[in-house]
A and B are shown apart, each in its own frame.
Chain A
Amino acid sequence: MDVIQIELAKLRRDGSLNQSIADVDKIIEQLERARETILENPDQASKTLVSLQNPLKNGFDRVLDDLKKVDKGQKSYEKTLNRNFPVKALPTDYDALASYPTLINRAIAMHLVREGQFSVASTFMEETRANPPHPQSAPGTPNLNQIEEDLGSIKSRELEDKFAGMYNILHELKARNLGPAIDWARANSPQLEERGSTLEFELCKLQYVWLFLGPEINGMPNDVNNGLLGALKYAREHFQRFQGRFTRDIQQLSTAMAYVSNLRASPYWRTFDIETAWDDVASSFTREFCSSLGLSAESPLYVAATAGAIALPSHVKYANIVKKKHTEWTTQNEFPVEIPLPRSMIYHAIFVCPVSKEQSTEDNPPMMMPCGHVVAKESLAKLSKGGRFKCPYCPNESQPKDAREIIL
């Protein structure tokens, strides 16, 4: 990229039309002068014109030369561009999405809403309503008209209000105010508990710790509602409801009172070290909030676009190979090459059968043999042929009926 940058700077310096304009200006000046001379000496008109002939010709030659320079500059920039930023064909022959513009629009609208860009979102929804998309049916993709619904089905208003609420709470968290987040968690407590989330308690715990650390750190007024006393008061009022589930945590929190003078060296410091606690609760709050709406924590559009950019080099490579060898894609449901995604982008447990090297599916689930080793159902059938068989990984022998389907 640096090379291109340098070449562009060169182009901006040398390859500009400025010089041509200056030379055109000179011709204009010459013409103007000639005009004046003719005005002064009408009799010498022809002589003046003759004397103008050469300068005029030279003037035009100069303008053409200037243009040549610009042309040369641009061509050399093009060369640099081609060398350092070579054109790679985009894999456009397979566009699975062209048939579903409404779904794409819906995804975009929801993305904008969840990113808090409400004004863009509403403009977008208005425009898409006014100009409904023209679906181009791409060959080879089934027509799923029934899911091509109206954009209105996402209940944008409601969603927008919800996300506005979420941003408000996050904003307050940033300002070190846990109140609104705790209120939300309390209101949604049954669902959170069902999902096994400890968010509500985490928030209350942080509130306790925050008060415990006192005015020096939390910057709140030094009164009975702050510091040790404040924390104690808070615990009495709020920890009651967590007694059953978090007994041990609460015991720890209250015993820490005894170590207040030497907290840093105490075994309780771990709980009170809140360096990352605020960011942690903010991100788990975002996750829980989105989950409560059936949405992932990160915008899927963002994750998918990023994953797409990471995957594209492999797609390009693959497309080139297919073209060169005249082969075809043999697997219908599965992309033929592995895409190296960063581990943070793996969301599901993935089981690849060590025998068949195939990914497990609903029809071909992972089966565990009594020895604890796992193979796919189809591989199991092939291995056993219905009778006793040896595990491919250990000396253990078993019957196919002893294998159990497992859910990862």
Chain B
Amino acid sequence: MADHKPSKLNPETHLILDQPLLRLPFELLRKNFKVAQRSVELHSSAVKTSFRELANSSLDANSSPDEVLKNVDSMLARMRGLKRKLTECQEEEARLQQQSASRIKHLAELYGMQSYEDVKYEQWSRTRLDRLLVDYMLRNGYKESASVLSKERGIEELVDVETFLKMSKIRESLRCGRVNEALSWCSENKKDLRKMESNFEFMLRFQQYIELVRTQDPAKLIEAITHAKKFLIPYKETYPKEVSQACGLLAFPPGTRAEIYTQLYSPQRWTTLANKFMETHNLLLSLPSAPLLHIALSAGLSALKTPSCHSSHLSSSISPTSHSSITTSICPICSTEVNDLARNVPWAHHTSSHVESDLVLLPNRRVYGTGRLEEYSRKAGLAPGRVKDLRTGDVFDVEELKKVYIS
């Protein structure tokens, strides 16, 4: 059997699920810096302008010292405001840098391991599973579980509770039919959204418009038209279909049988918006679109799955490789926890057989390794020359065994 050293661990390629671990704090660091930069620009130009005006007017000599003082005070207030803002940003920056440091340390531990069989790797992998679980819980809005689990395992620095809490709040508000939270998120991230050419904000505005038309209240309808003029019409080049649909909507009150318009009135759109938000949010922060746990499990279940795992034989597995036990142990895919989940993944591809050495065939068509069969029979208290089937318990004479050759 070709042994391609499958237990060798290569950290460079192994770290795939772990990319957001360093990416996210960095993206947040950038965002945080931009906030700081913007407020410096804003405040400095305001202070500079008011200073220039003040200097000019004081040259005229007709301004009273009191007025000058008042102006200086307002400049001071602005500068103190800037300092407050910068201090906030600096605290966030320190937190993110600290977080990155802990995460790098966690990832660096992997570089000290050579093999998957390393005890330290098991520890590390357990921590990784905990991280994946927390990620899953946060994405699905199970925030209590996420915080209890990360506290109990001491991995708070390795998970992104705050980011996801913010996200699920906005998502929930969309599911309840509110756009305000999402709109303010859009304005916070205006630049990046434009760069991404995201239509999310447009869709929010469109939804606002639909809600106004839904009321069929004359005053609201007029509001709807102004809303459309302000937020939708400017995009008629970019989203011609949506804009013309919006115009048409005025002619079709809710309850219409025209299919396009019933779709527009459908409450389902809010769920779509919530999903659209998640998608945009994750893209913006370079987070994977699906929970990492899904990705890991899809790949893992498939790698472990064999045709026997869902077979009707219901043969308990006998590992061809474990030396520690002669008795049957249950394969993880056959175990109840994930058996149904694994039904839909493809089974693993193998190019060579993995079987025990020195196989023999029992008269009941079952095949076992000689060593294991003999040891088991001895432990079962059988007389020499007799063997017992590990799974069915049938007893046979050694004479009846036939050698099996598997190449």
Whether A175 sits at the interface, judged by CB under 8 Å, is: no
Contact A406 B366, CB 8 Å, known A24-B82, A35-B69, A360-B307: yes
Q: Which of B33-41, B234-242, B253-261 contacts A (4 or more CB under 8 A)?
A: B33-41
Whether A313 sits at the interface, judged by CB under 8 Å, is: yes
Contact A196 B393 (CB under 8 A): yes
Within 8 A of A (CB), among B28-77: 29-30, 33, 36-37, 40, 44, 47-48, 51, 54-55, 58-59, 61, 65, 68-69, 72-73, 75-76
Contact A90 B6 (CB under 8 A): no
Contact of A312 among B16, B336, B353, B365 (CB under 8 A): B16
Contact A120 B148, CB 8 Å, known A97-B294, A404-B365: yes
- Complex alpha-carbon distance, A181 and B327, angstroms: 18
Contact A309 B26, CB 8 Å, known A111-B337, A297-B330, A342-B6: no
- Complex alpha-carbon distance, A197 and B328, angstroms: 9
Q: Which of B123-131, B200-208, B211-219 contacts A (4 or more CB under 8 A)?
A: B123-131
- Complex alpha-carbon distance, A134 and B275, angstroms: 11
For A361, the closest partner residue in chain B by CB is B307
Contact of B309 among A87, A107, A287, A348 (CB under 8 A): A348
Complex contacts, A133 vs chain B, CB 8 Å: 140
Whether A50 sits at the interface, judged by CB under 8 Å, is: yes
Whether A210 sits at the interface, judged by CB under 8 Å, is: no
Whether A231 sits at the interface, judged by CB under 8 Å, is: no
Contact B344 A311 (CB under 8 A): no
Within 8 A of B (CB), among A49-99: 49-50, 52-53, 56-57, 60, 63-64, 67, 70-71, 74, 77-78, 81, 85, 87-88, 90-92, 94-98
Contact of A294 among B111, B335, B348, B406 (CB under 8 A): B335
For A20, the closest partner residue in chain B by CB is B86
Contact of B90 among A18, A288, A404 (CB under 8 A): A18
Whether A5 sits at the interface, judged by CB under 8 Å, is: yes
Task: Give per-residue flags for B119-139: 1 if the beta carbon is below 8 A from chain A beta carbons, else 0.
Answer: 000000110110011001100
Contact B142 A350 (CB under 8 A): no
Contact of B322 among A295, A344, A404 (CB under 8 A): A344
Contact A127 B297 (CB under 8 A): no
- Complex alpha-carbon distance, A74 and B335, angstroms: 48
For A351, the closest partner residue in chain B by CB is B353
Contact A50 B142 (CB under 8 A): no
Complex contacts, A198 vs chain B, CB 8 Å: 327, 379
Shortest CB–CB separation between residue A282 and chain B, in angstroms? 12
Q: From DSSP, what is the main secondary structure of chain B's interface residues? A: helix
Task: Give per-residue flags for B346-386: 1 if the beta carbon is below 8 A from chain A beta carbons, else 0.
Answer: 11111111111000010001110000000010111100000
Contact A85 B19 (CB under 8 A): yes
Whether B341 sits at the interface, judged by CB under 8 Å, is: yes
Contact B14 A310 (CB under 8 A): yes
Whether B249 sits at the interface, judged by CB under 8 Å, is: no
Complex contacts, A347 vs chain B, CB 8 Å: 304, 306, 317, 319, 329, 331-334
Task: Give per-residue flags for B247-272: 1 if the beta carbon is below 8 A from chain A beta carbons, else 0.
Answer: 00000000000000000000000010
Contact B144 A408 (CB under 8 A): no
Complex contacts, B331 vs chain A, CB 8 Å: 296, 347-348
Shortest CB–CB separation between residue A102 and chain B, in angstroms? 10
By size class, the interface of chain A is 35 or more
Q: Which of A141-149, A213-221, A256-264 contacts B (4 or more CB under 8 A)?
A: A141-149
Contact A38 B367 (CB under 8 A): no
For B97, the closest partner residue in chain A by CB is A12
- Complex alpha-carbon distance, A42 and B72, angstroms: 13
Shortest CB–CB separation between residue A386 and chain B, in angstroms? 23
Task: Give per-residue flags for A345-372: 1 if the beta carbon is below 8 A from chain B beta carbons, else 0.
Answer: 1111111101001011110001010011
Contact A98 B290 (CB under 8 A): yes
Q: Which of A162-170, A222-230, A239-247, A267-275 contacts B (4 or more CB under 8 A)?
A: A239-247
Whether B189 sits at the interface, judged by CB under 8 Å, is: no
Q: A8-B97, A294-B330 are in contact. List 20 more A-B contacts (CB 8 A).
A: A5-B108, A21-B86, A24-B82, A85-B19, A97-B294, A120-B148, A124-B145, A295-B337, A300-B335, A312-B17, A312-B296, A334-B348, A337-B349, A340-B6, A341-B304, A346-B320, A348-B320, A359-B349, A406-B365, A407-B315
- Could you name 29 residue pairs across A and B whose Cβ atoms are closer than 8 Å? A20-B40, A24-B79, A28-B80, A46-B58, A85-B15, A87-B19, A90-B16, A92-B288, A94-B298, A96-B345, A100-B341, A117-B149, A117-B152, A123-B148, A141-B344, A288-B327, A294-B330, A294-B335, A300-B337, A304-B333, A309-B296, A332-B346, A339-B303, A346-B354, A348-B306, A350-B355, A362-B307, A372-B402, A393-B405
